[in-house]
Structure 1
Amino acid sequence: MTNPTASTDLPWMLDDLVEVPHVVSVVVLSTDGLIIQKSTFMSQDLAEILAAGASSMYSVAAGTGRRFESGPVHQVVIEYGDRTLFIAAAGQNARLAVLCEEDVDMGLVAYEVSRLVTRIGDYLGTGARAAAHDV
């Protein structure tokens, strides 16, 4: 069975999320902070910084959750002075980072992120890397 979501649809779906008022940039990243896909108008340099930071923040949240037996992380929200960053689980070993302006409707973005993750979860999931001793 083929995946109904073609790889060319992912950039379009990310750009569609950027159309939500006050959403600035969207990056899909692997758990180790590598870019899987980014919104079209985001520079590669900024996407790499966002992917690395989002991966780190999600990892910190997951580690803290394990320590307090809180279960898996579903979403991390960071509110800066002028921006808000949403980081969500997006399939196996993948994350979705959404950077927004301060005036964003956080409920709307959370809803749209949830819809996007559900819609393309199979495509966003990346397999785990083989351990060095398995190669």
Structure 2
Amino acid sequence: MNPAARQDLTWLLDDFETNPGVVHAMVLSADGIKIQKSSSLSDQEAEVLSASASALYSLAGGSGERFGSGPVGQVLIEYQGQQGHVLLIVAAGKNARLAVLCDSTVDLGSMGYATARMVRQVGQVMGTPVRATARDGLPA
């Protein structure tokens, strides 16, 4: 993904945050690297969210594989703390994920529709190539 395309996602993620109940939104690579974040999300928070969202999506994928459930459609985590956040993670193009942190007022049906619509519209832009590894003949 070229740097200019990444910059273009900020306005899109900021606009996505205008959906009722959305607190933060970001795009991350499948291996947990921040691709782009909304303006309201600090760099430090984005690093934590990208790493944890990647790990959660990967765990869901491994469980689904083990039990023959098929690929992950979405991961949904409901937090019971004082703020009562909901975290939704969906595939967003090749090797990319969209993570959306919502408050407790979010309508999950509407949010599921909004994330699916966003991914359909811009999934190609959100994708990221697979990173080379030592196994590919490059230093890790």
Cα deviation, 1:38-97, whole Å, max 9, x if unaligned, reads 001110111111111100100100000000111110101111110100000011110000
Partner secondary structure for residue 116 of structure 1: helix
Aligned pairs for 1:9-88 within 5 A: 9-81=8-80, 82-88=84-90
State the number of aligned residues. Answer: 132
Partner secondary structure for residue 28 of structure 2: strand
Q: Retained in 1: the 8 A contact 2:6–2:35? A: no
Q: Retained in 2: the 8 A contact 1:13–1:116? A: no
Task: Report the Cα offset of residue 34 of structure 1.
Answer: 0.8
Q: 2:122 aligns with which of 116, 120, 132?
A: 120
Task: Report the Cα offset of residue 6 of structure 1.
Answer: 4.2
- For structure 1, which segment, 26-35 or 122-131, has the greater mean C-alpha deviation from structure 2 after superposition? 122-131
Supply the distance in 2 between the matched residues of 1:54 and 1:12 (Cα, whole angstroms).
21
Counterpart of 2:104 in structure 1 is: 102
Supply the distance in 1 between the matched residues of 2:7 and 2:29 (Cα, whole angstroms).
18
- The gaps in structure 1 that reach 5 residues or longer are none
Supply the distance in 1 between the matched residues of 2:55 and 2:31 (Cα, whole angstroms).
8
Counterpart of 2:93 in structure 1 is: 91
- The gaps in structure 2 that reach 5 residues or longer are none
Supply the distance in 1 between the matched residues of 2:54 and 2:39 (Cα, whole angstroms).
20
What letter matches 2:58 in structure 1? Answer: S
Task: Report the Cα offset of residue 9 of structure 1.
Answer: 2.7
What letter matches 1:120 in structure 2? Answer: V
Counterpart of 1:111 in structure 2 is: 113
TM-score for both structures, normalised by structure 2 = 0.89
